[in-house]
Amino acid sequence: MNRDAPVAVLGAGWAGLSAALALAEAGVAVRLFEAAAQPGGRARGVSLHGQRLDNGQHVLIGAYTETLALLERLGTRHLLREQSRLRLHYRTLDGEGFELAAPALPAPLHLAFGIATSTLLPARDRWPALALARRLQQQDFGIDQDRPLLDFLQAERQTDLAIGRLWTPLCLAALNTAVDQASTRVFLRVLRDSFAGKAAHSRILVPQADLSRLFAAPASERIARAGGQLHYGERVHEIRLDQPPFEVRTVRGRYAASQIICALPHQAAARLLAGDARLQALVGRLRSLRDSPITTVYLDYPAATRLPQDFFAILDGVGQWAFDRGRLLGELGRIAVVLSADEAHLGWEQERLGQVLAAELHQCSNGLVPAQPSSIRVIREKRATFLATPAVEAARPATATAVPGFWLAGDYVATGLPGTLEGAVRSGRQAAAIARSRAAGA
């Protein structure tokens, strides 16, 4: 191995940035390549019709321990609005509101008490849900055989109302996968991370600044300050892994690399690796992964318009979660509505989708939100996350590959987590730790 060549990190999403930052701060020479002009990947600020918006509304949970520690070190943790305890609001299209709030009890009691005391479900639907929550806690949220979450919930005697109101909104928000397809194992892992550790792990945190300001911009600045080289706007079109030093080829040049951390989306990684005979099994796995969309619809109203809460789930609507960007980010009068894993409305015209969602907001807020928004902006991310099915979960690749010195990072890497910021950050930091110890031992 050529010890002098830097480690190349491909892709400056949250995974690549986390990897590059960990290496640069450890004194390892690093070059970060990103095809887009700006970093951040699937979680970044964008300019749309002259307005600064996020490419999609994001939320974090207290169980994102590595992400939160990283934001703390970057000095941007304060840009997250954190609940003092878990509190979820729900509204029907009839304007009825419900709450699921965890009392100030130590984990894991707060989940059971939250369900037991919530008005979201009538008693006959609530008790089976409570019994399931208790059973899951007793078995540490583990299962022997993975299967679709809906099958699991039905076998566990959950009523249709409990599935529709309690489990489905959580599954869509956490896994971006419909409940009849979602991996029970991944879903239970999220529940365990949120509810089996500290009570603080179940709290929701919502960014109060645009996503680039929260992470990509300060992370890039820190990498550059630590001596890392940023090649933004420089797409990688080929890599050579025949023998070390490896080679990274872009439109601008050819760069030697002692090791490579590939933090590209799985489709791009599969394309880049297709020609390498040693990596054919990996390419097969990458090609078997499937994606799931997320649509964020931004609706603008007069500045004084407020939702009844910072955010809430819309029950039985086309929209799933609504966020008051005025309350949260100071974007007065702006409401973001999120549709996860929603293939059904991808083909709808933007205006039509916006009008349907505006009508829902008007109804479920009991007229607090005016009937007509002044503007509608729709951002569709067709490949927002991988589809977290049992088959995909079984196919997710590890950090290490058949080529020593060539490592994978990205939210799709087998961390056990769904496609999330925390999955991306953990995968990036793990790849960096391995690359770093290899660099030290070389």
Ligand X SMILES: Cc1cc2nc3c(=O)[nH]c(=O)nc-3n(C[C@H](O)[C@H](O)[C@H](O)COP(=O)(O)OP(=O)(O)OC[C@H]3O[C@@H](n4cnc5c(N)ncnc54)[C@H](O)[C@@H]3O)c2cc1C
Residues that bind ligand X in the complex, under the rule CB under 6 A: 10-16, 33-36, 41-43, 55-56, 58-59, 235-236, 263-265, 268, 294, 296, 381, 384-385, 410-411, 419-422, 424
Looking at beta carbons only, is 34 or 125 nearer to ligand X?
Answer: 34
Does residue 40 contact residue 13 with C-beta atoms inside 8 Å? yes
Write down how long the chain is.
Answer: 442
The answer to whether residues 66 and 426 touch, using CB atoms and an 8 Å cutoff, is yes
Residue with smaller CB distance to ligand X, 11 or 326: 11
Written as six digits, the tokens of 39 are 């970093």
CB contact at 8 A, 84 and 78? no
Closest CB to ligand X among residues 98, 232:
232
Beta carbon nearer to ligand X, 43 or 361: 43
Q: Which is nearer to ligand X, 112 or 336 (CB)?
A: 336
141 vs 321 by CB, closer to ligand X: 321
| Residue whose token pair is 């990103």 | 34
Minimum distance from residue 277 beta carbon to ligand X (Å): 21
Q: Which is nearer to ligand X, 35 or 130 (CB)?
A: 35
Q: How far is the CB of 56 from ligand X (least distance, A)?
A: 2
Structure tokens that stand for 439 in this block: 């660099």
User: Which has the closest alpha carbon to 422: 299, 430, 401?
Assistant: 430
Give the whole-angstrom CA distance, residue 148 versus residue 155: 11
Name the residue nearer to ligand X (CB basis): 132 or 388.
388
Sign of CA dihedral 27, 413, 34, 210: negative
Amino acid at site 106: P
How far apart are the C-alpha atoms of 418 and 401, rounded to whole Å? 21
CB of 64 to ligand X, least distance (A): 7
**What is the rounded distance in angstroms from the CA atom of residue 310 to the CA atom of residue 324?**
5
**Which amino acid does the sequence have at 348?**
W
Minimum CB distance to ligand X smaller for 86 or for 294: 294
Please, which residues bridge with residue 366 across strands?
none
Phi, psi of 382 (to 5 degrees): -70, -30
Nearer to ligand X by Cβ, of 147 and 287: the residue is 287
Nearest to 176 by CA among 354, 57, 310, 79: 57
Nearest to residue 13, comparing CAs of 67, 94, 62, 93?
A: 67
- To ligand X, the closest distance from the beta carbon of 244 in angstroms equals 21
Q: Are 297 and 318 in contact (CB under 8 A)?
A: no
State whether residue 386 is helix, strand or coil. Answer: strand
Angle ∠(160,63,135) on CA atoms, nearest 5: 45
- CA–CA separation, 417 and 246 (whole Å): 30
| Smallest gap from residue 380 Cβ to ligand X (A) | 9
Adjacent-strand bridge partners of 259: 7
Closest separation between CB of residue 310 and ligand X, Å?
14
